[in-house]
Amino acid sequence: MSTTPHRREPHRPAFTRPSIRPDRVRHTSEDRGFAFVPNRFLHDGFFASLDHRERSLYLFLVLAGDRNGVSFYTYDRICSVLELTVDDYIEVRDALLARDLIAFDGTRFQVLSLPAAPTCTHRPALTTADDFERDDPATVHQLVRSSLKR
């Protein structure tokens, strides 16, 4: 018995399910772009290893990329579309780089083939008042609200 129940066994034949809306089946059109996310992204835990901002940027770059996964979107356009601050964008971009999911040369992005396994970056536990003020969204939210009431 496998220790990873969410992974499909390699020898298992694929099961084809009928479409719910056959008139709306997706097709790729090579002249209008090319984007795909491999099933491994979900089944091997990459999706679960990312936070919502990291998923958003990754999906954006997948959709923006050409057949080789390369795109030329600037940080200001990405921030605008994804509603990220520049600081958040840099944090998320650097997290995807550290996880070996994308490459960036200062001008271009490339969505890379998936590595063998997702890398999990464990954030340290929030233990001090300074930790909570700096990293806990609820505490930061409360501090901002209280400072605006003054």
Residues 38 and 108 in one domain: yes
Residues 85 and 103 in one domain: yes
Residues 48 and 114 in one domain: yes
pLDDT computed for residue 117 by the predictor = 93
Residues 86 and 133 in one domain: no
Supply the pTM of this predicted model. Answer: 0.67
Which residues span the domain enclosing 74?
33-119
Residue 75 to residues 58, 79, 106: CA-CA distances in angstroms?
14, 6, 10
Residues 73 and 131 in one domain: no
* Phi, psi angle pair for 71, to nearest 5°: -140, 160
pLDDT computed for residue 122 by the predictor = 55
Ordered alpha helix ranges (H), the chain = 40-43, 46-49, 52-64, 75-82, 86-98, 129-135, 137-149
pLDDT computed for residue 125 by the predictor = 64
In a domain, 147, yes or no: yes
**Coil, helix or strand for 100?**
coil
Residues 87 and 99 in one domain: yes
Low-confidence ranges of the chain (pLDDT < 50): 1-2
pLDDT computed for residue 23 by the predictor = 84
Domain count, the chain: 2
Residues 115 and 126 in one domain: no
In a domain, 111, yes or no: yes
pLDDT computed for residue 74 by the predictor = 95
Cβ atoms < 10 Å from Cβ of 138:
8
Give me the CATH number covering residue 48.
1.10.10.10
pLDDT computed for residue 50 by the predictor = 94
In a domain, 22, yes or no: no
pLDDT computed for residue 10 by the predictor = 58
